Amino acid sequence: EDQVTQSPEALRLQEGESSSLNCSYTVSGLRGLFWYRQDPGKGPEFLFTLYSAGEEKEKERLKATLTKKESFLHITAPKPEDSATYLCAVQEDNYGGSQGNLIFGKGTKLSVKP
Amino acid sequence: NAGVMQNPRHLVRRRGQEARLRCSPMKGHSHVYWYRQLPEEGLKFMVYLQKENIIDESGMPKERFSAEFPKEGPSILRIQQVVRGDSAAYFCASSPNGEVDTEAFFGQGTRLTVV
């Protein structure tokens, strides 16, 4: 059973069409939830870390929120350059404090058409 | 200020050969993590190392795979007697310390193809 599930698997938007990506998780205790962006042929690029339910973080057109069971990545008025795969990962509370043992979802592939 | 450097970017090996993947962390970073990304799968944690120490290898296959991070030089992920199922993208990440709020920077990955 997957501990981190992302939906949808793929999302196609028109430029300016806002939407949200979902990340649901099932771990016994959450130490942190991470969002990354991955472009084709490249490594993941860090976006946000969220630690507790109710927390929100923003960066340009992106806003990440966290509840006790899921996280949303809201994209406001996206542009074609926002096209990428967005990865969600969690770190369980029984791990010793490092970002090492992250449990990743399979990602949402976002395409933004002009 | 170079980022995490991985080489080679692409590696082709025949079944039964050895593959060596190298990772040079960012300057000042002493923590290295290796992840594997199989086609259509998410990134899977393999091993976490500090200089000269393996901290967590719970994601490493029990056989054929080994990792090291010597006092001098890059971290090495070694796969002996490769099989087709080892074909994947292998990513390395580094961070300055083990704190959860420290951002880990990923390299561009090594894409291993076993023929």
Chain B: give the shortest CA distance to residue A82, in Å: 19
Smallest Cα–Cα separation from B11: which of B61, B56, B77?
A: B77
Contact between A42 and B91 using a beta-carbon 8 Å cutoff: no
**pLDDT at position A22:** 98
List pLDDT tens digits, range B7-64. Answer: 999 999 999 999 999 999 999 898 999 999 988 788 999 999 998 899 889 899 999 9
**Closest-CA residue in chain A for B50?**
A100
Degrees to nearest 5, angle at CA A107 with A14 and A39: 70
Contact B100 A31 (CB under 8 A): yes
Quick one: pLDDT at residue A1?
Answer: 63
Sequence-ordered alpha helix ranges (H) in chain A? none
Interface size, chain A vs chain B, as Cβ–Cβ contacts under 8 Å: 76
Tell me the C-alpha distance between A90 and A30, whole Å.
7
pLDDT tens track for B53-99? 998 898 999 999 999 999 999 999 999 999 999 999 999 999 887 77
State the pLDDT at residue A27.
Answer: 83
Instruction: Give contacts of A 41-70 with B, CB under 8 A.
Output: 41-46, 49, 51
Q: What pLDDT shows up at residue A19?
A: 97
Closest to A95 measured CA to CA, from B14, B99, B13: B99
With residue B106 as reference, give the H or E element that holds it: strand B105-106
Q: Which residue of B has its CA nearest to A109?
A: B40
pLDDT, average across residues A19-27: 95
> What integer pLDDT is reported at residue A100 of this predicted model?
62
Record: contact A100-B108, CB cut-off 8 A: no
Calculate mean pLDDT across residues A23-34: 90
A28 exposed, middle or buried (CB, 10 Å; 0-12, 13-18, 19+)? exposed
Interface of A with B in 78-107 (CB under 8 A): 87, 89, 91, 96-107
Which of A42-56, A94-108, B8-22 bottoms out in mean pLDDT, i.e. has the lowest?
A94-108
The structure tokens 């960012």 sit at B26
